[in-house]
Structure 1
Amino acid sequence: MLRKLTPYLLVLPLGAFILVFTYIPVLTSLNLSFREWDFLSPDMPFVGFENYALLLGSREFWNAARVTAIFAAVSVPLRLGLALIIANYLTRETLPSRLLRGALFLPAVTSTVSIAVVFSWVFSTDYGMMNGILGLVGIGKVHWMQEPALALGVLMFVNTWKQLGYDVVIYIAGLQAVPRELYDAAAVDGGRPLHVFRRVTLPLVMPTTYFLLVVSVIEAFQVFTLVNVMTKGGPAGGTDMLVNMLYRVGFVLFDIGTGSALAVLLFIFLVVLSLIKSQVIGKKVHYEA
Structure 2
Amino acid sequence: MFAKLTPYLFVAPLLAFIAVFTYIPIVSSVNLSVHSWNFMSPDMPFVGADNYARLFASSDFWNSLRVTSIFAAISVPVRLVLALVIASYLKRETFTSRTLRGALFLPWVTSAVSIAVVFSWVFSTDYGMVNAVLAWMGMGRVPWLQDPTLALLVLIFINTWKQLGYDVVIYIAGLQAVPQELYDAAAIDGGKRLQVFRRVTVPLIMPTTYFLLVVSVIEAFQVFTIISVMTRGGPAGATDMLVHLLYRTGFVLFDIGTGSALAVLLFILLIALALIKSQVIGKRVHYEA
Equivalent runs, 1:91-170 vs 2, <5 Å? 91-170=91-170
Aligned residues: 289
Post-superposition Cα deviations, 1:75-125, rounded to whole Å, max 9, x if no partner, equal 000000000000000011100000000000000000000000000111011
Match of 1:195? 195
Percent of pairs with identical residues: 75
Match of 2:68? 68
Aligned counterparts of 1:167 and 1:94: Cα–Cα separation in 2: 19
In the superposition, the TM-score normalised over structure 1's length comes to 0.99
Kindly report structure 1 stretches of 4+ aligned residues shifted beyond 3 Å: none
Q: 5+ residue gaps in structure 2?
A: none
Look up the SS of the partner of 2:183 in the other structure.
helix
Match of 2:248? 248
Aligned counterparts of 2:224 and 2:248: Cα–Cα separation in 1: 11
Aligned counterparts of 1:105 and 1:117: Cα–Cα separation in 2: 19
In the superposition, the TM-score normalised over structure 2's length comes to 0.99
Aligned counterparts of 2:137 and 2:236: Cα–Cα separation in 1: 30
Match of 1:231? 231
Aligned counterparts of 2:288 and 2:134: Cα–Cα separation in 1: 46
Match of 2:48? 48
Equivalent runs, 1:171-190 vs 2, <5 Å? 171-190=171-190
Deviation at 1:251, TM superposition (A): 0.3
Aligned counterparts of 1:113 and 1:21: Cα–Cα separation in 2: 23
Deviation at 1:231, TM superposition (A): 0.3
Deviation at 1:193, TM superposition (A): 1.0
Give the counterpart letter for 1:124 in structure 2.
S
Query: CA RMSD of the aligned region, Å?
Result: 0.6
Q: 5+ residue gaps in structure 1?
A: none
Give the counterpart letter for 2:60 in structure 1.
E
Which shifted more, 134-143 or 124-133? 134-143
Deviation at 1:191, TM superposition (A): 1.3
Aligned counterparts of 1:162 and 1:101: Cα–Cα separation in 2: 13
Deviation at 1:187, TM superposition (A): 1.2
Deviation at 1:145, TM superposition (A): 0.4
Match of 1:278? 278
Post-superposition Cα deviations, 1:167-187, rounded to whole Å, max 9, x if no partner, equal 000000000000001111111
Look up the SS of the partner of 2:284 in the other structure.
helix
Post-superposition Cα deviations, 1:173-228, rounded to whole Å, max 9, x if no partner, equal 00000000111111112211111111111111110000000000000000000100
The answer to whether 1:29 aligns with 2:25 is: no
Give the counterpart letter for 2:15 in structure 1.
G
The answer to whether 1:220 aligns with 2:223 is: no
Post-superposition Cα deviations, 1:136-194, rounded to whole Å, max 9, x if no partner, equal 22221111001111000000000000000000000000000000011111111221111
